[in-house]
Amino acid sequence: MQSLKQTDFHFKGQTGFYRGKVRDVYIFGNRLAIVVTDRISAFDVILPRAIPYKGQVLNQIAAHFLQATADIVPNWLEAIPHPQVSIGKRCEPFKIEMVVRGYLAGHAWRQYKAGKRTLCGEPLPEGLKENDPFPQPIITPTTKAQSGHDEDISEDEIISRGLVSEQDYALLKKYALALYQRGTQMAAQRGLILVDTKYEFGKWNGQIYLIDEVHTPDSSRYFYAEGYAERQKRGQPQRQLSKEFVREWLMENGFQGKEGQLIPPMDDQRVKSISDRYIELYEQLTGLSFQPQPYDDIQTTIRLAIENFMQH
C-alpha cells in the first residue's frame, strides 16, 4: 500500500525545517512550504503505519475551508501547488489553540463524566448526556505544547501568563466563534453537525491571521445530522466523521498513549479502512468527488512543485 510517510528535501533558499506529527515544514524566510504527509497521530503519538491519501484529503479540506472563511479573518494560505502541499505566510503563532465546542463530546465528556462541571473556566450545565448540545458554543483553549500533551487553560490564565494580550484574546474569541458558526452552517448543508474544532492563529505584520488547517477531520469532530436526535433519545453512540474512530480502536486495544502501552499492530485491512473513511469524509464535507494523486514518483512531483513555486 503506497503512501507518503516523510520527505527529506533540501531546497535552494531554504532557511529552516521542522517535522511535526503529520507535516514536514520547509521554511523560506517569511514563507512556509508545508508537505502534509500520510502520517497519522493519536494521543500525541505518531502511529507506525501511514494512511494512503490522508495527506491529500487533509490538505484539500483545509484549503476548501480556508478559502470559504477568508471573509471572516485573513489566513496564511497563498497556494496549493500540489495536492499534498500548502505554501503561505510564515506567521508568528500564538502559543495557544482555540478549541470551540458546541456539544459535550470527546475530552469534554470524559471530564464531565469524571464529575467536573467547569472546563477551562467555562461552567458546564448539570444534567447533560454524552453528545448533548451546550446552550451555546464554548471556548476551551489549550496550551500549544512543543512536545508532549497540550493542556487545558482558562482565559484568565492565558492573559495573566502573558501568552496573549487581553486585546488580542478578545479578537481571537470573536474570530473563533464566527469561524465555528460558519463551519456549522457549511456542515449542515452537507448533512453534518460540527461538534467541536480547534483554530490556531498567528501574527503577520502586526495583524492576526488564521493559520494551520481548518475544519478537517484531524482538527474537528463531526456527527451525521440524520438520526442524531433519535440516537440521543435512545442513548446510542452517534455516527461520527472524525479521527475519533481511530482513537476508539486504539483504546479498545489497550492504547491511550500512556507510558508502557504498546501501539496495536495495524494490518493492511485496518489501514485501508481508515483511508476509505478519510476519503468518505472529504466527499461528505466538500461535496466534491475525491481525485487521488497517484503515488508514482510522488517525492519528485512534490519537490518540483515547491521549487517551481518558490522560483516565481
Q: What percent of the chain has pLDDT over 90?
A: 89
- Pair 118, 237 in one domain: yes
Q: Place 294 in a pLDDT band, splitting at 50, 70 and 90.
A: very high
Residues 282 and 236 in one domain: no
Q: How confident is the model at residue 146 (pLDDT cuts 50, 70, 90)?
A: low
The answer to whether residue 261 sits within a structural domain is no
> Mean pLDDT of all residues in the chain?
95
Which residues have C-beta within 8 Å of that of residue 174, sequence separation ≥ 6?
Answer: none
Whether 259 is covered by a domain: the verdict is: no
Report the number of distinct structural domains present in the chain: 2
Residues 160 and 220 in one domain: yes
In a domain, 256, yes or no: no
Q: What is the predicted pLDDT for the residue at 144?
A: 85
pLDDT value at 107 more than 90: yes
Is residue 63 assigned to a domain? yes
Judgement on whether residues 178 and 164 belong to the same structural domain of the protein = yes
Same domain, 105 and 87: no
Q: Mean per-residue pLDDT for 272-300?
A: 93
Work out the average pLDDT over 2-21: 96
Domain co-membership, 232 together with 99:
yes
Q: What's the whole-number mean pLDDT along residues 95-117?
A: 97
Which segment of 108-117, 243-252, 255-264, 294-303 scores lowest on mean pLDDT?
Answer: 243-252
Q: What is the CATH number of the domain that holds 168?
A: 3.30.470.20
In a domain, 251, yes or no: no
274: left (phi over 0), alpha (psi -120 to 50) or beta: alpha
Tell me, yes or no, whether 83 and 223 share the same domain. no
Tell me, yes or no, whether 265 lies in a domain. Answer: no
Burial class (CB in 10 A: 0-12, 13-18, 19+), 162: exposed
244-252 vs 268-286: helix axis angle to the nearest 10?
Answer: 150
- 113 in any annotated domain: yes
Give the largest CA-CA distance in the chain.
Answer: 60
- Give the pLDDT band of residue 243 (cuts 50, 70, 90): confident
Q: What value does the mean pLDDT take over residues 232-259? A: 90
User: Which of 50, 7, 25 has its CA nearest to residue 278?
Assistant: 50
Give the structural domain span for 185: 93-242
- Rounded average pLDDT over 105-114: 96
The region of weakest confidence among 59-63, 99-103, 143-147, 297-301 is 143-147
Q: Is the pTM of this model over 0.95?
A: no
What pLDDT shows up at residue 129?
97
At 241, the pLDDT band (50, 70, 90 cuts) reads: confident
Q: Is 97:197 a contact under the CB 8 Å cutoff?
A: no
Of 30-34, 234-238, 281-285, 304-308, the least confident: 281-285
**Residue 49's CATH number:** 3.30.200.20
Residue 189 covered by a domain: yes
Model confidence over 31-43: pLDDT tens digits? 999 999 999 998 8
Is the separation of the CB atoms in 203 and 236 below 8 Å?
A: no
Q: Does position 54 have pLDDT exceeding 80, yes or no?
A: yes
Beta-ladder partners of 31:
28, 89
